[in-house]
Chains A and B, each alone.
Chain A
Amino acid sequence: MRLVDVRELPLDGIESTADGGLRIGATVTNSDLAAHPEVRRRYPALAQAVLAGASGQLRNMATVGGNLLQRTRCGYFTDLSKPCNKRAPGTGCSAVEGEHHNHAILGATEHCVAIHPSDMAVALAAFDAVVTYESADGTGQLPLAAFYLPVGDTPHLETALPAGALITGVILPPAPVAAHSRYRKVRERASYAFAIGSITGALDVRDGVVREVRLAFGPSRPGRGGTGGRAGPDRGARRTPRRSPPPRSAELAAARPLPHNAYKVTLLRNLVVALLTELTEEAAR
């Protein structure tokens, strides 16, 4: 067995693609991603989401590949005295009857309600990012929507990445609407804490008409149990040309909260209204 530091690999570039998107290498640090002029210009919510995560020190160390693959788990996962389907499949989920005020309301099942804490992934979900990887069998791609597996009754299986695969990067398709995007995060203290609710919104208004709205919610359970296969961090309204926001979000309507995290449904609803109001005002300026 060998210990390899993948940060040394030459996968630390950010470059424009021929069609006007961006290709971000897997070992790009969160700091470099958030500081990059083209990210800030074309996908500002992505820069904001990354900056809202962890701390300056941690963002200098954390990479794009590692952030996507941070383990989805809750406090019970590391408490060996308690059952946990993720740690020991079939033993039960301690959070459902126990402490769960920060757990997922979207994409969770009774088998596991832990959240994927990545802020970055919430913005990537709104922008239809594609994860690229390399394995012994060659190269492959997975849209972020298919990257995280639905929870179902197999919470210990988290991603569709083939065993032994190395993430090489993330591709952001061109998205003019992304230039008018924002990320908002609510947490239990002002900074340096995981989200209890967050949202990426993008709004394209031309001649007073809303052409496109995009919403993605976090922190969410990667993989949506029950309501179909779209993986989270949840993507809300897709390309819905509508005359007036806010769009009705099928994702929020499908939320399945537990007693102590039901407040999050209201919180996310309020975030949708606040963010779309901000974006609408910005468009009017």
Chain B
Amino acid sequence: MAPSTTSALTLNINGEKHTLSVDHRTTLLDALRERLDLTGTKKGCDQGQCGACTVLIDGRRAVSCLQLAVAAEGREITTIEGVADGDRLHPVQQAFLDLDGFQCGYCTPGQICSAIAMIEEHAAGWPSAATEDVRPEAGVPELTAEEIRERMSGNLCRCGAYVSIVQAVAEAARAEEEAV
């Protein structure tokens, strides 16, 4: 019997179930873009170096180009298409619009997905490489521009829109903190 090279699987994306059959080697990124027509998630480098393909897996940010589709079965996947609440934009999306957090927009879906999870990581008390004292007794570091730059460093922007991206992320984090 010839070895099987494909798998049938069901992916849970933005609250909807999608059943498809894929080559075992298919990345989640290619499954999203090429098979499910969810082209909001972008391919920049296809090797983990740019962050354009960032999605949320079980609420955590991950690069979909280094994730096999077969290993994403059973997880809750959220792409840029699923972050808004109907017609109401996610606060991070709104902040990117209000503060011009982009130029060409290619890196933007990844930046937004990444920022959504990053704000939660910070709220959960995670330190970063920019945190002077990582000991828990030191408390949660303030989300300064330096902290935002470090925490968002996995998302490159070829247009160099970093100044407004940092402002947009800071604004969204502030808005979410107020909402709590």
* CB-nearest residue of chain A to B151: A56
Among B29-37, B82-90, B98-106, B132-140, which stretch is in contact with chain A? Answer: B132-140
Number of A-B residue pairs, CB cutoff 8 Å, is 82
Residues of A within 8 A of B54 (CB): 57
Among B13-21, B63-71, B171-179, which stretch is in contact with chain A? Answer: B63-71
Residue contact A34 to B154, C-beta cutoff 8 Å: no
Residue contact A192 to B154, C-beta cutoff 8 Å: yes
Q: Does A169 contact B (CB under 8 A)?
A: no
Residues 39-62 of chain B, each 1 if its beta carbon lies under 8 Å from chain A, else 0: 000000000100100100100111
Among A40, A41, A47, A57, contact of B154 (Cβ-Cβ < 8 Å): A57
Residue contact A41 to B63, C-beta cutoff 8 Å: no
Residues of B within 8 A of A44 (CB): 134-135
Among B137, B149, B154, the most chain A Cβ lie within 10 Å of the Cβ of B154
Residues of B within 8 A of A41 (CB): 135-137
Nearest CB of chain A from residue B46's CB, rounded to whole Å? 14
Nearest CB of chain A from residue B165's CB, rounded to whole Å? 14
Residues of A within 8 A of B136 (CB): 37, 40-41
Chain A contact residues (Cβ within 8 angstroms of B): what range? 20 to 34
Known: A35-B125, A35-B127, A47-B127. A60 touches B62 (CB 8 A): yes
Residues of B within 8 A of A136 (CB): none
Residues 121-148 of chain B, each 1 if its beta carbon lies under 8 Å from chain A, else 0: 1001111110100111100000000000
Residues of A within 8 A of B166 (CB): none
Residues of B within 8 A of A220 (CB): none
Among B51, B114, B129, B137, the most chain A Cβ lie within 10 Å of the Cβ of B129
Nearest CB of chain B from residue A50's CB, rounded to whole Å? 9
B interface size (C-beta, 8 A): 38
Residues of A within 8 A of B157 (CB): none
Looking at chain A's contact residues, the main secondary structure is: helix
Among A5, A31, A61, A191, contact of B63 (Cβ-Cβ < 8 Å): A61
Nearest CB of chain B from residue A285's CB, rounded to whole Å? 12
Residue contact A191 to B61, C-beta cutoff 8 Å: no
* CB-nearest residue of chain A to B124: A35
Residues 50-82 of chain A, each 1 if its beta carbon lies under 8 Å from chain B, else 0: 011011111011000000000000000000000
Residue contact B135 to A40, C-beta cutoff 8 Å: yes
Among B66, B128, B136, B151, the most chain A Cβ lie within 10 Å of the Cβ of B136
Q: Does B24 contact A (CB under 8 A)?
A: yes
* CB-nearest residue of chain B to A45: B134
Residue contact B114 to A47, C-beta cutoff 8 Å: no
